[in-house]
């Protein structure tokens, strides 16, 4: 088992990473002082694969477990579903000290986290991420949220979990496109902070794609460590945390303009390539570095070219993105693999040129 500490003073917590860790959940929960009653929030897919076994093992260790189910899918991240969960928590006699275990991908993590942050003004949250994206990114850092109308992820809170348990064996059942989505965020982590990790990914792509146990543990550990370091320095997203948006300025716009037909990981991959091309045209990034990034993204099975979408629409969507500060679009640009900076000074014409408009 590997461990990453998220250093946030009295809000700090551990991220435990390893193959087969789910079996140790009871022991780990007892280790941080939980006993008695707890609630698992999950979806039917994850319940069938892992939830039932987890419930049984926790019950066998003396926990009184209530499992609450929400359907699969992003549309479940809503105030309506949160409202239904509050009612179900009340029926289950959940109290201030009753922990909520979020078992699933980023959708469950964000929704169950939002419910944990708000039910009775906050009950303890434990993240048990089962997708690569959730293990390398969304379960760490305390951003919890639901969607509301056009406001995607904008009704939420910063609410840190008490523990994150990442069982890398659960990744073996992930559909290929979900694995690729997580790989996009993992590549992002390496590019923003860790050149050596980027080289590691570059040389281990085959083993990542075949889900080699040792390599998966290593990449989840290294990605989690990067995110934990950034979050520890900027919990409330006031500055440094911006770098986690590398690839997301253009990526979100592509998702929006494609009406979410281009899925997140693919959009982020295209967004990372767009940011790198902007940096290269500004003379900040060597062509060799751009080629390496392209190689890793393509090697992960992700797209490196822009989709056939309305370029003007993408630019408009970028302007409406939340990362606009004082009317300027914020970009995270790479200077090299492992080194990025944030700038508001990218001209719209350069963006258009790179997007192929």
Q: Which of 19, 25, 170, 189 binds ligand NAD (CB under 6 A)?
A: 170
Q: Do 182 and 34 contact (CB within 8 A), yes or no?
A: no
Which of 150, 166, 157, 172 has the alpha carbon at shortest distance from 13? 166
Q: How far is the CB of 83 from ligand NAD (least distance, A)?
A: 18
Q: How far is the CB of 117 from ligand NAD (least distance, A)?
A: 12
State which of positions 187-216 bind ligand NAD (CB under 6 A). none
Nearest-5° Cα angle at 218, 293 to 168: 110
- Contact between 247 and ligand NAD by CB under 6 A: the answer reads no
Instruction: Tell me if residue 13 falls in helix, strand or coil.
Output: strand
- Contact between 184 and ligand NAD by CB under 6 A: the answer reads no
Q: How far is the CB of 128 from ligand NAD (least distance, A)?
A: 10
Which of 124, 141, 129, 41 has the alpha carbon at shortest distance from 81? 41
State which of positions 25-44 bind ligand NAD (CB under 6 A). 43
With CB under 6 A as the contact rule, which of the stretches 55-63, 99-107, 186-194, 286-294 interacts with ligand NAD?
99-107
Q: How far is the CB of 14 from ligand NAD (least distance, A)?
A: 18
For residues 16 and 20, give the distance between their C-alpha atoms in angstroms, rounded to a whole number: 11
For residues 198 and 209, give the distance between their C-alpha atoms in angstroms, rounded to a whole number: 16
Q: C-alpha 148: how far from its chain's center? A: 19
- Contact between 230 and ligand NAD by CB under 6 A: the answer reads no
Q: Which of 14, 55, 110, 218 binds ligand NAD (CB under 6 A)?
A: 110
Number of residues that bind ligand NAD (CB under 6 A): 27
Toward ligand NAD, which CB reaches closer, 136 or 351?
136
| Six token digits for residue 116 | 């944990």
Toward ligand NAD, which CB reaches closer, 107 or 250?
107
DSSP string across 217-278: HHHHHHHHHHHHHHHHH-TT-SSGGGGGGTTHHHHHHHHHHTTT-S-HHHHHHHHHHHHHHH
- Contact between 125 and ligand NAD by CB under 6 A: the answer reads no
Toward ligand NAD, which CB reaches closer, 55 or 110?
110
- Contact between 289 and ligand NAD by CB under 6 A: the answer reads no
- Contact between 131 and ligand NAD by CB under 6 A: the answer reads yes
What is each CA distance from 165 to 20, 41, 117, 246, in whole angstroms? 10, 15, 19, 26
State which of positions 72-91 bind ligand NAD (CB under 6 A). 72, 74, 77
For residues 110 and 131, give the distance between their C-alpha atoms in angstroms, rounded to a whole number: 13
- Contact between 178 and ligand NAD by CB under 6 A: the answer reads yes
Which residues of this chain interact with ligand NAD, rule CB under 6 A?
43, 45-46, 49, 72, 74, 77, 104-108, 110, 130-131, 133-134, 137-138, 141, 143, 153, 170, 173-174, 178, 181
């Amino acid at each position: 088992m590997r461990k990453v500490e998220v250093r946030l003073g009295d809000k700090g917590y551990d991220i435990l990473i390893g193959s087969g860790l789910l079996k140790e959940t009871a022991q780990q929960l007892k280790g941080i002082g939980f006993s008695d009653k707890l609630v698992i929030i999950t979806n039917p897919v994850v319940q069938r694969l892992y939830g039932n076994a987890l419930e049984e093992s926790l019950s066998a260790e003396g926990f009184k477990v209530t499992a609450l189910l929400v359907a699969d899918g992003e549309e479940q991240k809503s105030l309506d579903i949160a409202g239904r969960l509050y009612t179900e928590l009340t029926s289950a006699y959940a109290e201030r000290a009753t922990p909520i275990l979020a078992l699933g991908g980023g959708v469950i993590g964000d929704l169950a986290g939002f419910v944990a942050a708000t039910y009775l003004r906050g009950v303890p949250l434990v993240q048990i991420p089962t997708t690569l994206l959730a293990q390398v990114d969304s379960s760490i850092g305390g951003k919890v949220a639901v969607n509301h109308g056009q406001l995607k992820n904008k009704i939420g809170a910063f609410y840190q979990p008490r523990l994150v348990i990442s069982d890398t064996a659960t990744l073996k059942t992930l559909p290929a496109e979900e694995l690729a989505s997580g790989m996009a965020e993992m590549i992002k982590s390496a590019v923003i902070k860790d050149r050596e990790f980027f080289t590691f990914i570059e040389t281990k792509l085959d083993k990542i794609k075949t889900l080699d146990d040792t390599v998966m543990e290593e990449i989840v550990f290294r990605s989690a460590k990067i995110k934990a370091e950034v979050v520890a320095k900027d919990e409330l997203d006031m500055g440094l945390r911006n770098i986690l948006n590398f690839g997301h300025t253009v990526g979100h716009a592509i998702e929006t303009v494609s009406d979410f037909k281009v899925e997140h990981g693919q959009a982020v991959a295209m967004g990372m390539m767009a940011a790198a091309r902007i940096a290269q045209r500004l003379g900040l990034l060597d062509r060799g570095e751009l080629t390496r990034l392209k190689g890793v993204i393509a090697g992960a099975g992700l797209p490196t070219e822009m989709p056939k979408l309305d370029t003007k629409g993408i630019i408009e969507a970028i302007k409406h993105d939340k990362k606009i500060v004082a009317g300027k679009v914020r970009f995270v640009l790479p200077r090299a693999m492992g080194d990025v900076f944030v700038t508001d000074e990218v001209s719209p014409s350069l963006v258009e040129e790179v997007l192929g408009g």
